[in-house]
Amino acid sequence: MTDLESLFNPRSVAVIGASKSPGKTGTTVLFCMIGGGFRGKIYPINPKEEEILGLETYKSISEVPDKVDVAIICVPAPSTPQVIRECTEAEVKFGVVISAGFGEVDENGRKLQQEIVRIAREGGMRLIGPNCMGIGSAASSLYASMNFTIPATGNASVVSQSGTLATLITLAASERGIGFNKYVSSGNEADLHLEDFLEYYACNPETKVVAAFIEGVREGKKFIRAAKEITKSKPFIVLKGGSTKAGAGAASSHTGALAGSDTVFDALCKQSGITRVSNNREMVNLLQAFSTLPLPKGRKVAIVSAQGGLGVLAADACVKCGLELASLTRETKHNLDAFLPYFWSHKNPVDATGGIADYTILSRALEVLLRQEDVQSVICLAPIFSVIFSTIRPRLSNTVQGAFKSTFIGALGEMEEKVANDFIGLRKRYGKPIVSVGLFAQRGSEGVRLLEEGGIPVHDTPDEAAYVISRLAEYKEYLARLGEAI
């Protein structure tokens, strides 16, 4: 296994091609490093500047009065061989080559790419990229990215063959409070491959969830070995581009990756316990689910809402993704009878009825369901109605604004907070996954933040809620089979 400790926890980093001009990659990368609060030393390298962003600047890496662990290389492609030679002479351990114009372009680019690998290997230096977006590491607050990728800190680690997807996934998950331990954009993978990073993540104790965006696997056997090592103890979520011929063609001119057969890849994922997803939204939903939810004991789900339509759609969604609706026991029904209106549904999905008038009954119904032994997870309506305030309030006539505020907003707001806190308490007490559907909840609203920080994801659709539970159950089943096999 390649030792990547000094890549992710370097004492000093040089930015070769650092610049002051807005729009230049060397400017963005340096800015991102300073802004991200890197704990080690930063050495900007630029032959024409004395100082950039308040940092002393050096003409070349050879002038730096210190050992440099990592060089972030932002010079034009034709200058990279010379720069990398100088790096090897200065005993730099890793070069992150952000520059593009290599193997992804044409035959000349491929030759240039081979040349920089040869120079690096001869000098005992390892390369990330070229044509990559950069790297990030929470432990040393190192964010060297041409895309300003400074995500929230946490336990998920990402490797991506597309820089954009690395940025997108980490930032979109950050917005939901999911944090990252490390990310690397592996670009053209001239030297280090995605498999090297996966091996490292498998053993890295700070990494609890692994995610990858893949356009093509270069080392099949190593990939499977690393994947199985990861999934023994950590969820591994994969989004693969190039699953169609058109996509594969696009991938080859993007990072020069060969996409391979999609059916084979799919089978490989199943065998290795990989959670494969279809798009960036599913990736973020699952990063959130694996980072915040316990794994369900099985596929039996209860559904509770105060609105029948949601229950119907959620039941459809559960069945479609292979979940089962738990049958309510006589005891559960009896306990629900005690406080639900007499015309409640009397089966799963539990339609507690009642609209928005009184939804403290939601948390009471939720608790009754969680108490039933074979209810292994619950999908419930999120008790959040932010859209009613933000979308409707501006549409109300002036004459009623005061009364609306006093009659509804205060009461609903208080109830919203109370019910959300009840949900969070139940989530802790029963240790079962609770996933909510925020039919009237807007991302960014206080209620969503409260629930998600409390470990209850809020999804837009019942489909998404059922989907994440089914994928957690699938991983749980993989672990169980693994346990039996040992």
- Closest distance to a copy of itself from the beta carbon of 142 (Å): 13
How far apart CA 404 and CA 418 sit, in angstroms, is 20
Output the CA–CA distances (angstroms, integers) from residue 416 to 51, 63, 434, 472, in the order listed: 53, 61, 17, 28
Alpha helices in 293-409 (DSSP H): 308-320, 330-337, 360-371, 386-387, 401-404
Nearer to a copy of itself, 12 or 188 (CB): 188
- What stretch of H or E contains 16? strand 12-16
- Closest distance to a copy of itself from the beta carbon of 303 (Å): 8
Nearer to a copy of itself, 10 or 242 (CB): 242
Residue with tokens 């309510």: 328
At a CB cut-off of 8 Å and minimum separation 6, what does 433 contact? 289, 293, 294, 295, 296, 376, 377, 378, 469, 472
- Closest distance to a copy of itself from the beta carbon of 44 (Å): 14
Nearer to a copy of itself, 77 or 420 (CB): 77
- Closest distance to a copy of itself from the beta carbon of 302 (Å): 12
Terminal Cα-to-Cα distance of the chain (whole angstroms): 24
Q: Are 18 and 30 in contact (CB under 8 A)?
A: yes
Nearer to a copy of itself, 25 or 231 (CB): 25
How far apart CA 466 and CA 323 sit, in angstroms, is 8
Q: Which DSSP string do the residues of 221-238 spell out, in sequence order? A: HHHHHHHHHHHTTS-EEE
- Closest distance to a copy of itself from the beta carbon of 454 (Å): 21
Distance of CA 427 to the CA centre of its chain: 22
Whose CA is closest to 413, among 393, 437, 433?
A: 393
How far apart CA 143 and CA 163 sit, in angstroms, is 13
Residue with tokens 């109370």: 418
Nearer to a copy of itself, 233 or 261 (CB): 261
Nearer to a copy of itself, 167 or 231 (CB): 167
Nearer to a copy of itself, 124 or 249 (CB): 249
Nearer to a copy of itself, 61 or 340 (CB): 340
Nearer to a copy of itself, 70 or 466 (CB): 466
- Closest distance to a copy of itself from the beta carbon of 87 (Å): 23
- Closest distance to a copy of itself from the beta carbon of 105 (Å): 4
Q: Are 472 and 414 in contact (CB under 8 A)?
A: no
- Closest distance to a copy of itself from the beta carbon of 157 (Å): 18
How far apart CA 195 and CA 150 sit, in angstroms, is 24
How far apart CA 472 and CA 322 sit, in angstroms, is 12
- Closest distance to a copy of itself from the beta carbon of 77 (Å): 9
How far apart CA 440 and CA 324 sit, in angstroms, is 26
